[in-house]
Chains A and B, each alone.
Chain A
Amino acid sequence: MTILLIGNPNVGKSSIFTHLTGVKVTISNYPGTTVQYAKGYLTYNQKKYEVIDVPGTYQIDPEAESERVAADMIESGDILVNVVDTTNLERNLNLTIQLLEYGKPMVLALNMWDDAKHKGISIDIGKLEKILGIPVVATNGLTGEGLKLLQEKITTCEPIEYKKLTNGERWEKIGQIISEVQNLSHRHHTFIEVMQDLAVHSLIGPVAAVAVLYLVFKFIITAGEYITEVVSMLFDIFYLPLIMHLSKLLDGNNLIHSVLIGNISAGKIDFEAAMGVLTTGVFVVFAIVLPYIILFYALFGFLEDFGYLPRVAIILDRLLHRIGLHGYSVIPMLLACGCNVPGVLAVRNLETRRERFITSVITCVTIPCMAQTALIVKAVGEQGDIYLLLTFTSLASVWIVLGMVLKETVKGSTHTLLMEIPPYRIPNFNMQLKKLRMRISCFFKEAIPYVLGGILFINLLHTTGFIEWVGIVFSPLIKGVMGLPDETVAALIIGTLRKDAAVALLTPIGLSSFEMVKAVIVLTIYFPCVATFTVLLKELGIKDTVKAVLIMFFATIAVGGSLNLLGRYFTPVVLIIIEIAIIVICGLFIPGISSKKREDIMDDTEEISEI
């Protein structure tokens, strides 16, 4: 028997799913689509049921991909459990009544029952059961209240008969039901509601968003630095003697020694510069990268579940329209600040091809992942804060200029922002921990082989002389156009595997401060790391990926070249001022060459294609 959990997005379906199924859950793609769903098992009265968490949907409309998947799944399920947000019963009932028309055994779970009580909403469950003809259970997905009763009802419910209604009749019926079962009592605004309103206030909202994002990143970087210091101290105390011992065992200058341990200067190992798999490789992963990744996902996981991220999307909507996107695209971009892979994966939630293409290109070109950021802060920070600022203002100006170019050139349409704003909710600590653990283990699986393998790989390339050869071939481009020494080639090669390891490779070269800035910017722009490239290929397809790669290539030459040129005449401070001016002018004043026309056309195409 298969039980399907069905409901609108943001109704707490997943937490009910977790309570019903426990730990053994598999996430898979629905055949032939990019739509993901979770599957688990429930055992009740010695009977085993398969439980499927159907992707959230507002209605059954076989036109949209995710909704078509939902419709397919419902056809094949045995028992339907419709999870609704009690605080929004009216809107949720639209789906409920469409589900009743299938005539399958069905239970209605009035989730967020407690929230509704706090909001002064009460529902007459008995009356609702009688009108709908199915069992109705009040639940709280966060605490698990009501789920025992839900299980009992699920396993005993019967098929029903229901007459198919037209759209108009359905809404009329919903109006009737609501007036009979729902009771509203007036009450005062709570503190949390005041905070919700402030977050999207016309003036305070944007200022607060900038402050929140700034503080979050500031905190990650400061706390990360501190943790890195502590961890490297631990490395010195516990790991260094072990490595020294191993070094003695390997006895000096053979190949295995240089691959595993790397260079020892004056009988001491510098973990950052030694470039061995067991020294720099292990150190970069655990001491430099991991602390930042954990901090990033802990904080963003919280903001996400708390409900602040959707508000950031709304606030940045206007800015993103400048580059041919709408506010929701900011979610993949923010995720990409942690790691580009989940960022590019999240792009699939965007509605049109144009949105998906622009968002993924901008993300791959201008957004360094947290691991890379951590090493940029370390490597460039050593040269002085002004150079660090220059790095990020440069990336920001590339973001907006490239975005505006793409907006004018990429064909297709961009939808207007339209989204539900979930209320603030204090996230469940255990769920946060679970999510964090999942994301970290994902990073481990992905990062460790690439960082260790990458360092090994570059070591081998060095010994075979391949890197010198590539350096000579690309010298006109790298030295001539961008003014970088040939040695950076090694970092650029490794950057196609892991960007963080590549930045780490720049430090021992001994670049000048400005060269360092150029190198890390070029390293960010020229090509995504292999993991990101793989998902990019999967999400965009070959044709668009080739286009994306070409854009990256030309962007690298344009940005590297112009930085090199401008750097000859201006000081870093002047460069920063120029870049900030570019950002402000593009962001506020240039109206976009064809924006008015294109947006009007967009609406027409949207209408024509959907009729």
Chain B
Amino acid sequence: MQKELLVLSMMKNSQSGTVAKISGGRGMVTRLEALGIRIGSKIKKKSALIGSGPVIVLVGNTEIAVGHRMASKILVEVDE
């Protein structure tokens, strides 16, 4: 069964899924990894600030704010 792939910034609020791809340089990947966002992490989008503001996600028990531009480079396999 084909699962739906979406970039983080385009997910709906309270949608969750698994990080499938991070299309950024090593710097960005390391910064995200330190906060627990890496390929295979479970991630849940909580909200996004109005006007292309930061995206708020829940990873494990931590809330993390991801700048909009970075959020548009994180590809998530959305849960059914």
A contact residues vs B (CB 8 Å cutoff):
58-59, 61, 87-88, 90-91, 94, 119, 121, 171, 196-197, 200-203, 205-206, 310, 314-315, 317-318, 326-327, 415-421, 423, 599, 603, 606-611
Quick one: given A200-B46, A318-B51, are A91 and B62 in contact (CB under 8 Å)?
A: yes
B22 at the interface (CB under 8 A from A): no
Of all chain A residues, the one with the shortest Cβ separation from B40 is: A171
Shortest beta-carbon distance from B10 to chain A in Å: 14
Contact B67 A200 (CB under 8 A): no
Contact A202 B49 (CB under 8 A): yes
Listed in ascending order, the chain B residues whose CB lies under 8 Å from chain A are: 13, 24-28, 30-36, 38, 46-54, 56, 59-70
Q: Which 3 A-B pairs have the closest CB atoms?
A: A607-B25, A416-B67, A610-B27
Chain B residue with the shortest CB-CB distance to A317: B54
Please determine whether A416 and B69 come into contact, CB atoms closer than 8 angstroms: yes
Residues of A within 8 A of B56 (CB): 200, 314, 421
Tell me, in angstroms, the Cα distance from A196 to B52 when the chains sit together: 20
Once bound together, how far apart are the Cα atoms of A506 and B70, in whole Å? 49
> For residue A119, which residues in chain B have a CB less than 8 angstroms away from its CB?
61
| B67 engages A121 (CB within 8 Å) | no
- Whether the Cβ atoms of B54 and A197 lie closer than 8 Å is no
* Chain A residues near B68 (CB-CB < 8 A): 318, 416
A177 CB, nearest partner CB in chain B, Å: 14
Contact B65 A91 (CB under 8 A): no
Q: In the complex, which residues of chain B have a beta carbon less than 8 angstroms from the beta carbon of A418?
A: 31-32, 35, 64-67, 70
Contact B34 A196 (CB under 8 A): no
A-B contact pairs, 14 of them (CB 8 A): A87-B62, A197-B47, A202-B48, A202-B53, A310-B65, A315-B53, A317-B54, A420-B35, A421-B56, A606-B25, A606-B28, A607-B24, A607-B26, A611-B26
B35 and A603: CB pair below 8 A? no
Residues of A within 8 A of B31 (CB): 418
Which A residues touch B35, using CB under 8 A?
A: 58, 91, 418, 420
| Further pairs besides A58-B34, A90-B36, A200-B46: 6, Cβ < 8 Å | A90-B60, A91-B62, A315-B49, A418-B67, A608-B25, A611-B25
Distance in angstroms between the alpha carbons of A61 and B26 in the assembled complex: 13
Please name the residue on chain A nearest to B13 by beta carbon: A202
Do B62 and A88 touch across chains, with their CB atoms under 8 A apart? yes
**Given A418-B32, A418-B64 in contact, is the A317-B53 Cβ separation under 8 Å?**
yes
Cα separation A202 to B51 with both chains bound (whole Å): 9
- Residues B53 and A318 in contact, CB atoms below 8 Å apart: yes
Q: Determine if B49 and A318 form an interchain contact, defined as CB atoms under 8 angstroms apart.
A: yes
**How long is the Cα–Cα vector from A569 to B47 in the complex, in angstroms?**
47
Complex Cα spacing A418 to B33, Å: 11
Closest chain A residue to B27, Cβ basis: A610
Q: What residue in chain B is nearest A119 (Cβ atoms)? A: B61
B65 and A419 within 8 A (CB)? yes
Roughly how many angstroms separate A197 CA and B69 CA in the complex, as a whole number? 22
CA distance A163 to B57 in the complex (A): 34
